[in-house]
Structure 1
């Protein structure tokens, strides 16, 4: 493990593997280096790239300086980009896609090219929008120390069936989810209003002029696939691709070759 210090003094833990051009992987909600899909994906990319995985603030071995702000998380990623030498590729998954975009739009971000997979968004009437008090309820549960309820609310919001949540609570995974439940409001703040049934504002990421690949899974819900197509349309220099047979939990064996092809072209 290595560390880098962000602009506000927060220590961010990361792992570096492989050789080649630098590629940073940005996790979605509840995931970090020791829990989630990125370590397996890094293994599939390390023969082509120098791959950086890291713990977003408040997770794993990274610090968690208060108060939280989206700008602080973009500074975390910028610090890692600087440690990687700048002019890097970045791949963001789920809420990590939004964080990647928020960083890429900053002047001098150091991101040369980016790929995104299923930024959580409901931009039409094909799905029920998130409740307007979602963030306030999540903040209140975190403040009350009700981490299990935070995870349950999050899982319900993203469409996990009640039966699935009940089964999950009986597995060792639940303890790991609760350990980082306090970071879920951070993800909602990074996402902003993407889940409330509104079109993407044309100017939110208009400054992201780097080449971008926006992806979704062929088995993902209609609202998700539609929102990714719309995201590719509002980004100045993006194209869209669907990965057949995939869901939000995309398999490393499927998207690793896609990323190699895209970032190597």
Structure 2
């Protein structure tokens, strides 16, 4: 099935231009990717959802076809961007976030954006003070590599110290055809670090104040820390729903059909329509 996609360039609060794709019809659902992602990586999930919703995807600032007009990295910049996308689709929307995108959309709710329902997949919060944490200076070192134009170095640092990918695996990735796509996203990686602050515990008191319906999803083959963080979101947000996907891991966007089914049911509950 072919989905007609309309692309627009919108302007965020600080003058940053954001590339936004819209497809489908129905209530608006915005999809937000994580680190090393742009709107292309959530496009397959969007195509699965488009028969039921107006699906909106966008390049987060500093990646893909979106620029970054800011003088410094601030979480508030990305909150302003999400606000601009919501305004673009009519002033209210439901939102899905994957990985650091999941933390970003929860942060948007906590900062009062007009979001109706939120679904998150494996937000990389630190849920346990005993789990390994990156050094607190990792953000400063990452920012310095980006400022020096060392995109390979920045991508390597993020993968190794923040995600925990072994050095030999990173070496293999650098030799692969996907590496240029990853390295191209390096200037945006400080935003992923800032929004997740992986060296400190997740903000449970603020998360407990979320009052919109929340669905938290993880795969049973994912990293233990990601599963723990997802469970903690569901346990902390009043009335939140927790869903476990058998056989899935963090790369669920590459196999979007089952996730789309879960999201269609959840988001349809907020529109008064039935999903079959």
TM-score normalised to structure 1 length: 0.92
Assess if the C-alpha contact under 8 Å between 2:16 and 2:70 holds in 1.
no
Taking the aligned partners of 1:141 and 1:63, their CA distance within structure 2 comes to 19
Q: How does 1:1-265 map to 2 (within 5 A)?
A: 1-34=7-40, 36=41, 38-67=42-71, 68-107=73-112, 109-124=113-128, 127-156=131-160, 157-192=162-197, 195-196=198-199, 198=201, 200-250=202-252, 251-265=255-269
Q: 1:103 to 1:197 in 2, by over 3 A?
A: closer
Assess if the C-alpha contact under 8 Å between 2:207 and 2:233 holds in 1.
no
Taking the aligned partners of 2:125 and 2:76, their CA distance within structure 1 comes to 21
Taking the aligned partners of 2:87 and 2:123, their CA distance within structure 1 comes to 25
Taking the aligned partners of 1:47 and 1:255, their CA distance within structure 2 comes to 15
Taking the aligned partners of 1:237 and 1:106, their CA distance within structure 2 comes to 19
SS in 2 for 1:113: strand
SS in 2 for 1:53: strand
Report the CA distance between 1:248 and its aligned residue. Answer: 0.6
Q: Which runs of 5+ in 1 are unaligned?
A: none
Q: 1:133 to 1:100 in 2, by over 3 A?
A: same
Q: Which runs of 5+ in 2 are unaligned?
A: 1-6, 270-276
Question: Deviation string for 1:129-178 (max 9, x for gaps)?
Answer: 12222111111211222110111111112122323211211122111111
SS in 1 for 2:139: helix
Assess if the C-alpha contact under 8 Å between 2:98 and 2:122 holds in 1.
yes
SS in 1 for 2:206: coil
Report the CA distance between 1:125 and its aligned residue. Answer: 5.8
Question: Deviation string for 1:15-71 (max 9, x for gaps)?
Answer: 10111110000010111123x2x0111111111111001000111111201223111
TM-score normalised to structure 2 length: 0.89
Aligned-CA RMSD value: 1.5
Assess if the C-alpha contact under 8 Å between 1:124 and 1:197 holds in 2.
no
Assess if the C-alpha contact under 8 Å between 1:82 and 1:110 holds in 2.
no
Aligned length: 259
Report the CA distance between 1:11 and its aligned residue. Answer: 1.3
Taking the aligned partners of 1:93 and 1:76, their CA distance within structure 2 comes to 17
